[in-house]
Amino acid sequence: MQYNPGWNSSSVNLLHVRAEGPSDTLHYVWSSIGAPAVLLVATQSPSSSLSINWTRLLSPTPAGAIWIDPPGSVVHSTAVVFTKVFEYSEAKPSEELFYPPYDLSDFSWASINHTLNHTALTAELTGVPATDPGGTFANGSLAFRVTAYEARGRDGRLPSLLHTADSSQVEFVLAGVAPRDNSSHFLLEVATVEEPGVVRTLRSARSIDDEYTPTIFEMLSLVAKSQNDSSTLSFLQWKATAYGSRSPRREDGIQCQAHRLQAANWSLPVASIVQAYFGDNVGSTYSVSALNVSFGGEEGRVYQEKRYLSWSVLLGFGQPPTDTFSPLVISIMAVALGTPLAMLLVGTCLVLLAQRKRYSEYEPIN
């Protein structure tokens, strides 16, 4: 993990996470220059490196400021941008009242360097609006907590997402932000940038195995697929839940809903790592898709009480990790299904034996 590689100032944030394999390298580049975003690049070289022209990156025209050496080693690149946070209330059951959104490209972000942990492989982007006339962020902040992984495993905190060494996790956190209504709900806008020949699709999978995330049976994945061979190149994956506590428990769950994925007809914020890597053709040569993820408990009361909201999403390359039935769940299913079956078999055998045994009071005649 490198903070602002090649740049000595902490006035801006750029975090480079590099995962080196025997024949390939994965690059994650997180930044709050413009809207908070992450650039994901997979290469087929074990020694590929990130290069940055800082003068150009911090200029009004950052195109070409970020590249990978050697350029021919790149096999897949994409970007995820967290653009806006919306707040709305349900004035009536079929009517929603939206407040002016929080544009994350206009936020002021603290230095990642103060939260960077090279041992735990974690870092945190924390920001507040540059101008806050309503004072809603007077005692609060918005944060993106990044975690990288070296091996396959499961996160210890709910929703306990299963991860691999090819993935990283980001946790979106609203803490202490004053809602503008008694029943406020929040909505996060997420945009993705794809190369030509790659499309994003939203998938939903349900499972009866909720051992690690009690009562949550739905897993959602936003996957990037090649149009040529339909292979999955990268993904975002999350459980259909958020939480309203710093130490989340099942009862702290907040409803989480993903809305329809659609092509974005707007341009991404300028002066960001997206333009720096993909150039000025974002939206034309490179396609942009947008997805809204909304959070809200019963009438928004969960956030009203705790003033805390966290949502975790996994980002990575290749196929999303797939949960299998754990030994505990398999044992429970075996007992639940096997016991009635065993009783049925024993009962059938007893009935058959009883039918074969005939009673008679007459003695046999010799």
- pLDDT per residue over 204-216, tens digit each? 998 877 788 888 8
Cβ atoms of residues 209 and 329 within 8 Å: yes
Write down the domain spans for the chain.
2-317, 329-365
Closest CA to 239 of 201, 199, 212, 200: 212
pLDDT-derived band at 299 (thresholds 50, 70, 90) equals very low
Does 106 or 360 have the greater pLDDT score?
Answer: 106
Answer whether residue 19 shows pLDDT above 80.
yes
The mean pLDDT of 299-308, rounded to a whole number, is: 76
Beta-bridge partners for 117: 122
Q: How many angstroms separate the CA atoms of 170 and 168, rounded?
A: 7
Radius of gyration of the chain, Cα coordinates, nearest whole angstrom: 26
Give mean pLDDT, residues 110-114.
94
| Mean pLDDT on 344-350 | 83
CA distance 285 to 295: 33
Rounded mean pLDDT, 104-114? 95
Indicate if the pLDDT at residue 109 is higher than 90.
yes
Single pTM value for the model:
0.88
Q: Give the angle subtended at the CA of 194 by the CAs of 22 and 70, to the nearest 5°.
A: 40
DSSP H or E segment with residue 335: helix 327-356
Q: Residue 337 contacts by C-beta under 8 Å, 6 or more apart in sequence?
A: none
With cut-offs at 50, 70 and 90, classify the pLDDT of residue 81: very high
CA dist 287 → 78, 79, 82, 133, 283 (Å)? 10, 11, 16, 35, 5
3-state percent helix, strand, coil for the chain, nearest multiple of 5: 15, 45, 40
Which is more confidently placed, 294 or 356? 294
Bridge partner list, 67: 51
Paired sense of beta strands 95-98 and 74-92, if any: antiparallel
Backbone angles phi, psi at 6, to 5 degrees: 85, 10
pLDDT cut 90: percent of the chain above it: 68
Predicted confidence (pLDDT) per residue in 117-176, tens digit: 999 999 999 999 999 999 999 999 999 999 999 999 999 899 999 999 999 999 999 999
State pLDDT tens for residues 229-287. 889 999 999 999 999 999 999 888 898 999 999 988 666 665 589 999 999 888 788 99
Dump pLDDT digits (tens) for 170-192: 999 999 999 998 888 899 999 99
Q: How far apart are the first and last CA of the chain?
A: 99
Among 26-30, 63-67, 229-233, 325-329, whose mean pLDDT is lowest? 325-329
